[in-house]
Amino acid sequence: MESLVSRMHAVQSPIIPVVRELITNSPGTISLGQGVVFYSPPPETIELLPKFLADPANNLYKSVEGIPPLLSALSSKLQAFNGIEINDENCIVVTAGSNMAFMNAILAITSVGDEVILNTPYYFNHEMAITMAGCRPVLVATDENYQLRPEAIAQAITPKTRAIVTISPNNPTGAVYSEESLQAVNQICRDHRIYHISDEAYEYFTYNGVKHVSPGSFAESCEYTISLYSLSKAYGFASWRIGYMVIPKHLLVAVRKVQDTILICPPVVSQYAALGALQAKEDYLKTNITAIAQVRSCVLDFLNHLEDLCTITPGQTHQNFQKAAIYF
């Protein structure tokens, strides 16, 4: 049986459990490795759960794409925060976290042997998903400030390239990519007729006045831009497993096939919880992100005392602000 090696043999093991074990074996170590917030979901999260429980039909399978009330709430959020209008050319699909959204996207747009460009440092689960799909991750280094290098990205494209992945704010560096560089990458994708997969799971985690930019908001980008989002981070929703993706309408049939096979439908109880969370008071995110910003500032102050031992690299200079590329 040892000779029967599956495709999983080529996939790296998740690094988070490895780091967790190292921490367990090294008392006193502080983990900066996993982006999980310290606070709980907003109280509105549970307010709609009695409504879910009151309807026996909620125990049945629901729409592959998500329940209509949540899709409507997400459409409003995307318009207000991301500048993305849901229209006849695109659509929303609710997923079990943005990791599943990424897997959906890769399986929908690639064939075995295709290539997907990742900018380093990259999110390890992205590489795992690409390899699982029988594709090859192509790594392109960012610059000394962890910013995108559009020229290098363009040079890495081959006839087998199917997508370029950007993560902003970045996991793991925290860097926020400039609007200009994201527009450049988006244009490269348009010119080469490939997809721009934009992972925006940390969309609310920007500081010092920096604003988040969604490539899906760029003019005429609907046809080739795939945007990924998550409630796990800003809403303290990690175990509820709710994310969502905005995809070109022409990919919906393929994404439905993937999602129906793996999941059938997103957990309906979690969708009700997500609908409640999106109705949280405005100060919920503001207060919690402000607290994180204060912790970040303290960490930077302490690290600056160690300048002989480590370098704090500015992660971004968008809008003339700088942000250190520390791990969240």
What would the pLDDT profile of 76-114 be if each residue is shown by its tens digit? 999 999 999 999 999 999 999 999 999 999 999 999 999
pLDDT the model gives residue 3: 61
How many other β-carbons are positioned within 10 Å of the β-carbon of residue 180? 11
pLDDT the model gives residue 318: 43
Residue 323 reports pLDDT greater than 50: no
- Six-digit token string for 261: 């096979």
Q: Measured in whole angstroms, how far is the alpha carbon of residue 211 from the centre of its chain?
A: 17
Is 3.40.50.2020 the CATH classification of the domain at 44-277? no
What is the share, in percent, of the chain residues with pLDDT greater than 70? 93
255: left (phi over 0), alpha (psi -120 to 50) or beta: alpha
Delimit the domains of the chain by residue range. 44-277
Q: What's the pLDDT band for 13 if we cut at 50, 70, 90?
A: confident
Torsion of CA 233, 237, 241, 243, to 10 degrees: -50
What would the pLDDT profile of 201-260 be if each residue is shown by its tens digit? 999 999 988 999 999 999 999 999 999 999 999 999 999 999 999 999 999 999 999 999
How far apart are the C-alpha atoms of 232 and 125, rounded to whole Å?
15
Q: Which of these ranges, 162-166, 288-292, 310-314, has the smallest mean pLDDT?
A: 310-314
pLDDT the model gives residue 17: 82
Q: What's the pLDDT band for 117 if we cut at 50, 70, 90?
A: very high
What would the pLDDT profile of 261-311 be if each residue is shown by its tens digit? 999 999 999 999 999 999 999 899 999 999 999 988 888 888 888 878 877
pTM over 0.75: yes
Length of the chain: 328
